Amino acid sequence: MSVQNNEAGLVRKKDAALSQTKKISSTQINFLIDLAALVIFSLLAAPQATAISFHEWISFVFVPVFVIHIFLHWQWIAEITQRIFKKLPGNTRFNYIWDFLIYLLMILAFVSGVVISQVALPFIGIPIKVDPFWTSLHDTSANLLLIMLGIHLALHWDWIVSVYKRGFKRQAKEA
């Protein structure tokens, strides 16, 4: 009887450990997607350094990463959207509005980028005439995005540091 109890206890402990590992790994996936988004965005934000063709093609890689980033935080977005006109902590409300502005600017930068595309659109057979209006909007939105992204990172700095310390540092110690 006591052996059975011990075994059941061990199974429970194992399950708890597994669920703990699963929980940490989902946060780590989140962290890695965010890191990938940051690295890809930093690369595409410097067309002078990477050449225009790389800038345009990597933008198409960035969009799915951006969508996955939104998807991974969908629970939070849905929750705050429902409560936005109710009582909310100030920093949560600010975060929400800030993220929404980043989302709009990101779309504006993407749309204006596609419209003035010199490589991707001609590649698929769509000739374009560069409109100075879209060029100006693209430059302005991209430059603003960099600053807003910096603030977005700072607003989540505590989370970044804690995930890094909890996850990656511990794994490095165990290895």
Partner 1 sequence: MNIAKRIPIIFLVFIVTGLIFLPLAGTTWAEGVRAGATPVPPITASPVTFIKVIVEICLPALITVSIRNATKHKKMTPKTSS
Residue positions counted in the chain = 175
Which of these segments, 12-20, 28-36, 70-78, 81-89, binds partner 1 (CB under 8 A)? 70-78
Q: Lay out the site mask for partner 1 across 136-175 (x = CB under 8 A, - = otherwise).
A: xx-----x--xxxxxx-xxx-x------------------
Amino acid letter for position 66: F
142 by Cβ neighbours in 10 Å (0-12 / 13-18 / 19+) ranks as: buried
Least distance from partner 1 to the Cβ atom of residue 12, Å: 29
The tokens of 26 are what? 């989902």
Residue written as tokens 């990938």?
36
Closer Cβ to partner 1, 18 or 151, answer by number: 151
DSSP 126: -
Binding site for partner 1 (CB under 8 A): 42, 45-49, 51-52, 63, 67-68, 70-71, 74, 103-104, 107-108, 110-112, 115, 130-137, 143, 146-151, 153-155, 157
